[in-house]
């Protein structure tokens, strides 16, 4: 399983919150689920975001393979006065846990999964006719202002890294995740609505900017195909800039 630190999840949380498409978030809340299952819940960002918009408190099942993150999610739910059942589970083996639910949610999960896993997950989801709200799947687009001559090569190498295995039984979908989700859901008789939800990362988020740059450069360096990555990183660290990272949100309802 890929490791995600609580520190990284906390750094990205403000950008995630600002990026989520408000219309799809509202439409997910309007489904008024009594029970929500959040897959790959991390420290509970989805619960903290969606629960306040629900017409009444839902019972949450929080699913993650990292028990440390799951513990933090459970504490967060308790602090918010929300009934939540933490479930430690490797989603590779169990794409959709059997817990009762009226809505399945996930944030920043589907770009990690393989095409094969997605098929197994969507088969299980559609067999139960459950709606899905999937936020913040990376779509492969990155843009910086002002531009740097190496930006295109960095994005291409980073996207190759995103397609490497992330613990879901094969190469990750990476930037193809949003399109694969739409195609798989529509083929199973879902009405799917999609919206762009890009991160906008500026000078007011220095810690997140630094972590994002380091993460991109490390992923590119792992590819071994771009010796100039250190130059790009040094240039980006030295000067103020704005980064846009493309994501998509999706709400799918069985017809
Ligand atoms: C990018 S993080 C997103 C966390 C959270 N949804 C958020 O938005 O802050 C992906 C999450 O998926 C979990 N995860 C990754 N692979 C998993 C697996 N095979 N089984 C269960 N959880 C997994 C990680 O532990 C992590 O919490």
Q: What is the pLDDT of residues 70-112, one digit of tens each?
A: 999 999 999 999 999 999 999 999 999 999 999 999 999 999 9
Question: Which DSSP symbol is given to 59?
Answer: E
Residue 140 C-alpha to ligand 1 middle, in angstroms?
19
- For residue 41, the ligand 1 atom closest to its alpha carbon is 6
Whole-number Å distance between alpha carbons of 218 and 158: 9
For a mutational test of ligand 1's pocket, the pick from 16, 41, 42, i.e. the residue with the most ligand atoms closer than 8 A to its C-beta, is: 42
CATH value of 6-140+163-199+247-254 in 3.30.420.40, 3.90.1200.10, 3.40.228.10, 3.40.50.150: 3.40.50.150
> Is the shortest distance between the CB of 40 and ligand 1 below 6 Å?
yes
> Is the shortest distance between the CB of 1 and ligand 1 below 6 Å?
yes
Going by C-alpha positions, the residue among 83, 26, 16, 21 that lies closest to residue 55 is 26
pLDDT in tens, 179-235: 999 999 999 999 999 999 999 999 999 999 999 999 999 999 999 989 999 999 999
H-helix segments, 31-147: 45-50, 67-79, 115-127
What's the rounded mean pLDDT across residues 115-128?
Answer: 98
> Is the shortest distance between the CB of 107 and ligand 1 below 6 Å?
yes
In total, the chain counts a number of residues equal to 255
Delimit the domains of the chain by residue range. Answer: 6-140+163-199+247-254
- Of the CA atoms within 13 Å of residue 207, those in its CB half-sphere come to 9
What is the pLDDT at residue 2?
A: 57
């Amino acid at each position: 399983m890929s490791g995600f630190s609580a520190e990284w999840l906390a750094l990205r949380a403000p950008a995630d919150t600002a990026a989520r498409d408000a219309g799809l978030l509202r439409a997910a809340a309007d489904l008024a689920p009594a029970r929500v299952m959040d897959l790959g819940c991390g420290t509970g960002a989805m619960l903290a975001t969606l629960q306040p918009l629900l017409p009444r408190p839902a019972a949450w099942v929080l699913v993650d393979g990292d028990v440390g993150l799951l513990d933090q999610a459970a504490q967060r739910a308790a602090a918010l006065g929300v009934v939540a059942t933490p479930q430690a589970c490797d989603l590779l083996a169990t794409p959709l846990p059997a817990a009762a639910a009226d809505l399945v949610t996930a944030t920043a999960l589907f770009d990690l999964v393989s095409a094969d896993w997605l098929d197994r997950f969507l088969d299980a989801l559609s067999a139960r006719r459950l709606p899905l709200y999937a936020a913040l799947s990376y779509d492969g687009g990155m843009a910086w202002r002002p531009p740097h001559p190496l930006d295109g090569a960095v994005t291409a190498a980073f996207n190759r890294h995103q397609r490497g295995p992330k613990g879901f039984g094969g190469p990750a979908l990476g930037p193809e995740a949003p399109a694969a989700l739409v195609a798989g859901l529509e083929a199973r008789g879902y009405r799917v609505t999609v919206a762009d939800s890009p991160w906008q990362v500026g000078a007011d988020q220095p810690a997140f900017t630094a972590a994002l740059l380091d993460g991109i450069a490390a992923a590119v360096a792992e590819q071994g195909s771009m010796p100039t990555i250190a130059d790009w990183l040094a240039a980006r660290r030295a000067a103020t800039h704005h980064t846009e990272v493309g994501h998509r949100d999706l709400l799918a309802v069985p017809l």
